[in-house]
């Protein structure tokens, strides 16, 4: 993946390409295997219900965090650098949800020699409900 986006080519208000993933145990179990996150609420419906989720087991917030990185990486390319990300987990990722990661540029600035872009980001479920609102700051390469 070469450089995909240059600082000069983006503007405030631009929406970046969405990144979509349907999730279930196949995705959660793989993530549990690498993050050592074998927690009952993510594996077992009864435990999920005991934790207050009537639909049973539910997905990891950390995996949605990774999906947001994937969206930004896919858009910005390997020459960009993630500087900061901040999210709140507002709703649960239920089994078989289709998650859509979104991003919209809200600020551009050059600071300490870095070309920084700030984006509002989110993960929406198939009903359009906001599950993970937040922001990210990325340093983009320049054409100069």
Residues that bind other proteins (CB under 8 A): 1, 26-27, 30-31, 33-41, 44, 47, 50-52, 61-63, 65-67, 69-70, 73, 78-79, 81-89, 134
Find tokens 């979509």 and name the residue: 20
Question: Which of these, 107, 69, 104, lies nearest to 86 by C-alpha position?
Answer: 69
Q: How far is the CB of 71 from other proteins (least distance, A)?
A: 11
Residue number, 11 or 107, with CB nearest to other proteins:
107
Q: How far is the CB of 30 from other proteins (least distance, A)?
A: 4
Distances (CA, A) of 54 to 58, 62, 122, 138: 10, 21, 24, 38
Q: How far is the CB of 8 from other proteins (least distance, A)?
A: 18
Residue number, 11 or 25, with CB nearest to other proteins:
25
Q: How far is the CB of 86 from other proteins (least distance, A)?
A: 4
Residue number, 12 or 33, with CB nearest to other proteins:
33
CB 28 within 8 A of CB 97: no
Find tokens 């600071």 and name the residue: 111
Q: How far apart are CA 113 and CA 62, in angstroms?
A: 31
Residue number, 11 or 138, with CB nearest to other proteins:
138
What's the token pair of residue 73? 């990486």
């Amino acid at each position: 993946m070469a450089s995909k986006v240059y600082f000069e080519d983006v503007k405030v208000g631009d929406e970046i390409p969405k990144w979509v993933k349907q999730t279930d145990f196949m995705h959660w179990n793989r993530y549990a295997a690498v993050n050592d996150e074998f927690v009952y609420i993510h594996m077992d419906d009864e435990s999920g219900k005991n934790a207050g989720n009537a639909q049973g087991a539910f997905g990891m917030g950390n995996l949605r965090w990774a999906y947001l990185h994937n969206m930004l990486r896919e858009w910005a390319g390997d020459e960009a650098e993630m500087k900061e990300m901040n999210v709140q987990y507002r709703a649960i990722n239920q089994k078989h949800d289709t998650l859509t990661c979104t991003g919209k540029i809200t600020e551009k600035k050059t600071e300490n020699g870095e070309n920084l872009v700030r984006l509002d980001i989110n993960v929406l479920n198939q009903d359009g409900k906001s599950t993970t609102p937040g922001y990210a700051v990325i340093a983009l390469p320049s054409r100069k």
